[in-house]
Amino acid sequence: MLNTFKNVLQRLKNECLASGYEMLLEADLSHWLFHLLLTQPEVSPQQIHSDTRICNINGRFDIVIGPLHMETDKRPCVQPQLVAELKIFPRIGFTDQAHRVHYKHILNDDIPKLGRLNPAIQLRTALIVDGRGYLQGTYQGYNRWDYLIKKRNDIASGVHVFMMHFADNNWHIEHELP
């Protein structure tokens, strides 16, 4: 699943972001990612879900790939092979205050949620698209990106973190391994 996800990110960079498409909301990122994942031969269209439940865990997750499971007297849920939480810092349309709220959601919601998942899941990942360069600033006296990775290391050590960021008139992909 990791190589499939990396391929999709490369396509997202080349086919979407590099063409000048401006993502405004997390939904834009989610829908592009969903579409590109559907085009991968390793991904069964019957097993990809958006904003969905995972078996035996509270909360909803942005993108999940895996078979459906019907628990007795419960709602259907997904037995995940890939789980991705998504955030975006758009280049336009948001204030630093709004970006701060999104950043805190990564720290206090997304990373902890991914950390509570079963480590046997093939890929647990956070994907951040930072068109604004927001993660290069500081939070509590530390670089925001470094602070985020430290928090991931402390509470969700098996989680991959990808960042797509705009610098020098190009999009770049960074990958922090668990």
Helix (H) or strand (E) holding 145: helix 144-155
Q: Could you report the per-residue pLDDT of 113-168, keeping only the tens digit for each?
A: 999 999 999 999 999 999 999 999 999 999 999 999 999 999 999 999 999 999 98
| Lowest-confidence pick of 17-21, 119-123, 171-175 | 17-21
Give pLDDT, residue 70. Answer: 86
Half-sphere exposure of 41 (CA within 13 A, CB side): 0
Residue ranges with strand state E in 16-169: 48-53, 60-65, 68-70, 76-78, 82-89, 123-130, 138-139, 142-143, 160-167
Mean pLDDT on 105-112: 98
Question: What is 63-76 written as a DSSP string?
Answer: EEES-EEE-TTS-E
